[in-house]
Amino acid sequence: MHPSQVEERTYEIFQSGMHCAEAALGALLESEGHDRESLGRAASAFGAGVGRSREELCGALSGSLIALGILRGRSAPEESWDTVAAMAKDFRERFQSMHDCTACGELLANFGPQENMEKCKRLTARAAGMMREIMDRDAADIAPLSCGCCACAAKPCGAGA
């Protein structure tokens, strides 16, 4: 699915009554042929800045990052997560540069009044499309990101001891 199609689908899912995180995750899962009904629940607690708090990470970011983990993440400790970490960092930085923040409450304050969550729907659609673009890039074009959390700093994260 092309990023613009992911944007359209994200908007449709949000419009149907799902929230920001669920819409982003659902459209991204569908873009790779996964069933959003079975995996989409993973984002349910992340709507409106985590549990409707509006104090945490924007749900569009959360849902997109959950999709990245499901679709590109590792499944065993010996697997590296350097590339997926680099993709997540790129996504967060691009979002931050577009909106000057990543927190739900700040975004809402910057939006000002909105009718029927329209500004949130458009932001969520753009975020999911941007994540689709990032995931579509060839992994060889993404510089792995070493995290420093591993015991052996000389090896990429997940490379084993």
Q: What does pLDDT average to over the chain? A: 88
Residue 109, C-beta contacts closer than 8 angstroms, at least 6 positions apart: none
- Where in the chain are the domains? 3-141
What is the pTM assigned to this prediction? 0.86
The model's pLDDT over 1-47, given as tens digits with 9 standing for 90+, comes to 999 999 999 999 999 999 999 999 999 999 999 988 878 889 999 99
Residue range 43-68: average pLDDT?
93
Q: Which residues contact 65 (CB under 8 A, 6 or more apart)?
A: 88, 91, 131
Q: 138 vs 24, which has greater pLDDT?
A: 24
pLDDT interval class at 70 (50, 70, 90): very high
As a whole number of angstroms, the distance between CA 27 and CA 23 comes to 6
Residue 57: strand pairing partners: 103
